[in-house]
Every structure is written in structure tokens, then in C-alpha cells.
Amino acid sequence: MAGNRQEVTKVGDLPEVCLAHAIALTSPRDACRCATVSPAFRAAADSDHVWRRFLPQGPAVATNKSTTSKDAYLRLCDTGAVLVDGQGNAMRMWLDKASGAKCYLLSARALSLPWDDGEFSWTWTPPALQRFRDVAELVECTSLDIYGRLPVAELTLATSYAAYLVYGLADGHRGLSFPDQETTVALASGSGRVGAGAARRHAVCLHPDEAEARKFRAVSRGTGAEETRPPRLREDGWSEMEMGRLRTPGDDGEQETAVAGEEEVVVSFEVGWYPKRGLIVEGVEFRPVYLFGP
């Protein structure tokens, strides 16, 4: 019986190129996990063959040939790693470390701001955190509506994203505690037309204040039974408000349709008619979200 025993080939016995090819079909997080299995897995998981697949294409993310693909990937995971337009006025891009999905921050200069005609409504000032050359501070206005657009092709396809308004409040701010504030996130055609029923409205409040909310509750537009979303204070000192979520096309052969149709993600933030001032806008950020954990 001993002479009939067959040798069993283990996964670790496979050539490194085979292991690397299989690992490259997973995700950056899975590749890092594979590297802890054994020395053979570590060599394959850290190879350029694997990490080149996780790097996005395009001149904006060209890498130095003297570094490994993994090092280049990790550098691109720094928030705001790539200034896309080179002028400091449009947007920054980086990668989500766990999934490799592209993240973007549209600057205030790239957004449509109401009455953006100089000192009458907005003033432009250098930020403390130098991700862009300047940020917009609201001087005074009544109706406030901020819009932004980003081509779907810029985002990672078949990925769930959330859009966030990144902002701060100046001393003496006013009119930002009232409850009738709404956001939308939707897909639109290249002409700007949003599909019917696609733009779901969300009730938000940039600076929650229950006393102010009681005063204006009777005239609040509201959005049905949805609870008003509160902001979140970030580690970098800015606050962020989730504006909404969507999933980019790409499942079931939709990738070509999304790119050819020149679709855009359209985001908006709207506040009702009363005096307001002191809102500081850095921009709108797009990040992937994990519905069931990363």
C-alpha cells in the first residue's frame, strides 16, 4: 500500500507566477493577508505583477520606475495624493487602501456656488490644510445652493460611493443651524438631465441646534420620515456631511454604456431663504462605502 501512495501538491508548492496571478484577482486587502500565510505567499503577494493590477492607469498616476509597484500603491493611498489638474483649482485623487477604489475631492473652485461674483457672496482664503490653494467662505446670502459634477468614468466602476460636503464654520456664522437643509446625489446624462426618481433628497443640518430647530420646524421643508443627518468632525479638523450614496455602473456589462454615455455624478446642497453666513467650503469628497464592512 505504501508504494501506491501519491504525493499531494500543496498550494505553496505552486510556482510564484501562478500564485501571483491568483492573488492579483483579489483585492489589496486580500493580497496583504496572503503575504502572512508563508514565505512563498509573501513573495508572490508583494510582487510587481500583483500590485501593478491595483494601480490605476493614466498619466496623473505615473509611478517612478525605481520603486516597487506596492510602494507606489501605498503612496497613492495618502489622502489627496494626486493633484489632477496641476493648478490647485480642480480636484485631488487618491486610492482607498483596502479596495484600491479611486477617491476624489472636488475643490470649492470646481463647484457651482450661488452668486460667485467676488466679495458680495464669497471670499477666497488660503486654508490651514494645504490640499488646495484656497477655500470659499460665505460672506452673506439668502438662498444657498451648491452643485458639483464628476464624470462617472473618473470613479471606479461597479463600486458603492458616498459623497461628502467637506466644510468648516467661521466665527460669527449665522443661519446654518436651521433644519431645512437638503442634499441629493444622482446620476445624470452628459446634458445634465437626471433620471426620473433618481435624485433622492436627504434632510441634513450643518450645525445642529435644537433651539433653532424648534423655531423653524413649522416651516421646514423636510423630507418625509427620514431623520436629519448630523455632521461628523474629521481628524483633519474639517467637518463632513454625507450628501448621499450611489453605485457606479459596471455590473452585467454596463461599463461601456457608462463611459460612452458620458454620465456624471451630480451632487447638491440646498438651504432655504433666510440670511446665512460663515460657511467655509473646502469641497465635495467621493469615497467608497462598505455596506457589510471592509
Q: Taking the mean position of all CA atoms in its chain, how far away is CA 169?
A: 22
Distance CA 118, CA 140 (A): 12
Q: Is residue 36 pLDDT above 90, yes or no?
A: no
Neighbours of 245 (CB within 10 A): 14
Closest CA to 63 of 75, 46, 50, 53: 75
Alpha helices, DSSP H, located in the chain? 16-23, 28-34, 39-45, 48-54, 69-76, 210-216, 255-260
275 contacts 152 by C-beta, under 8 angstroms: no
pLDDT band at 294 (very low <50, low <70, confident <90, very high): very low
pLDDT band at 193 (very low <50, low <70, confident <90, very high): low
pLDDT band at 151 (very low <50, low <70, confident <90, very high): very high
Residues contacting residue 74 through CB under 8 Å, at least 6 positions apart:
97
Closest CA to 222 of 280, 182, 166, 275: 182
Q: Is residue 251 pLDDT above 70, yes or no?
A: no
The top-scoring range by mean pLDDT among 25-39, 114-128, 234-248, 263-277 is: 234-248
- Per the model's pLDDT, the better-predicted residue between 277 and 87 turns out to be 277
Instruction: Name beta bridge partners: 192.
Output: none
Residue type, 140: E
Q: Is residue 282 pLDDT above 90, yes or no?
A: yes
Residue type, 194: V
Based on C-alpha coordinates, what's the Rg of the chain? 23
- Cα–Cα distances (Å) from 51 to 18, 97, 246, in that order, read 15, 12, 27
Mean pLDDT of 182-210: 77
Q: Is residue 145 pLDDT above 50, yes or no?
A: yes
3-state secondary structure of 231: coil
Q: Is residue 126 pLDDT above 80, yes or no?
A: yes
Mean pLDDT of the chain: 81
257 contacts 238 by C-beta, under 8 angstroms: no
Phi and psi at 289, nearest 5°, equal: -120, 150
pLDDT reported for residue 285: 96
pLDDT reported for residue 88: 57
Residues contacting residue 205 through CB under 8 Å, at least 6 positions apart:
177, 178, 179, 181, 213, 228, 229, 230, 231
132 contacts 100 by C-beta, under 8 angstroms: no
pLDDT reported for residue 217: 56
pLDDT reported for residue 226: 67
Q: Report strand pairing: 102-107 vs 277-288.
A: antiparallel
